[in-house]
Amino acid sequence: MSEMRLYDHAGNRLYLNAGERAAFLAVARKQPARDRTLCETLHFTGCRPSELLEITPARVDLSGGTIAIRSLKKRKDAAGKLKVVFRTVPVPPDYLDTLNTAHGIREAQKSKRQASAPIWALGRTRVWQIVKRIMIEAGIPDAPHRSPKGLRHGFGINASVNGVPLNMLQKWMGHAQLTTTAIYADAVGKEEQDIAARMWG
């Protein structure tokens, strides 16, 4: 298994910083409903594109304010058999309102067939293209972090900088090991400056 990193071997940042995340979200919110909700879901849940494509109306808890995401990383139980792992991630109420309005989530949940159909009937390549186009429009530099993975890493950094406990972040991101999540506690760049500024008083 390859080691998780926040910088590549050339020292390039692999995550979106707070300013880039805000710019991405601002541009995403001007897009047609499908692209907007797709980008907001990646932004607010930190899920992988392959996991996003698995989300169905049945996994959206409008009253509880969460989305259940099936982890697509292979996990084995004590007997060595593959097990299905879900995680729930809390999301903002206004985002859920947009998702419900755009995709008729509440209505779809009334029908077993509609409730189990994916919200975004797209392929991973198409998701990547949509995210990249919006990142370009948001002025995010052509660098290794301009990708869905950069958005996922940005989610982890943002949560860590804002005091989310590592064990909770581990659950939200679907990491099997806490050591994987711990890279986000190693806050860097502008985020590290903000933490240092608190210390300086």
| pLDDT value for 1 | 43
Residue 9 falls inside a structural domain:
no
Residue 34 falls inside a structural domain:
yes
Read off the tokens for 32: 């047609």
Question: Mean pLDDT of residues grouped by 10 in the chain (201 residues)?
Answer: 74 90 97 98 96 97 96 71 87 97 97 96 96 98 94 92 87 88 71 67 58
| pLDDT value for 134 | 98
Residue 196 falls inside a structural domain:
no
Element (H, E) at 42: helix 33-45
The C-alpha atoms of residue 176 and residue 174 are separated, in whole angstroms, by 6
For residue 7, the 8-state DSSP code is B
Q: Give the Å distances, CA to CA, from 186 to 12, 19, 62.
A: 16, 19, 33
- Are 158 and 22 in contact by the 8 Å Cβ rule? The answer is no
Q: Would you list the DSSP string of 152-173? A: HHHHHHHHHHTT--HHHHHHHH
Residue 149 falls inside a structural domain:
yes
The CATH number linked to 118 is: 1.10.443.10
Residue 12 falls inside a structural domain:
no
- Are 156 and 173 in contact by the 8 Å Cβ rule? The answer is yes
Question: In terms of residue numbers, what domain contains 75?
Answer: 18-189
Q: How many domains does the chain have?
A: 1
Q: Which amino acid is at 87?
A: R
Residue 164 falls inside a structural domain:
yes
Residue 157 falls inside a structural domain:
yes
Phi, psi of 88 (to 5 degrees): -105, 135
The C-alpha atoms of residue 54 and residue 47 are separated, in whole angstroms, by 11
| pLDDT value for 2 | 52
| pLDDT value for 76 | 66
| pLDDT value for 60 | 98
Residue 26 falls inside a structural domain:
yes
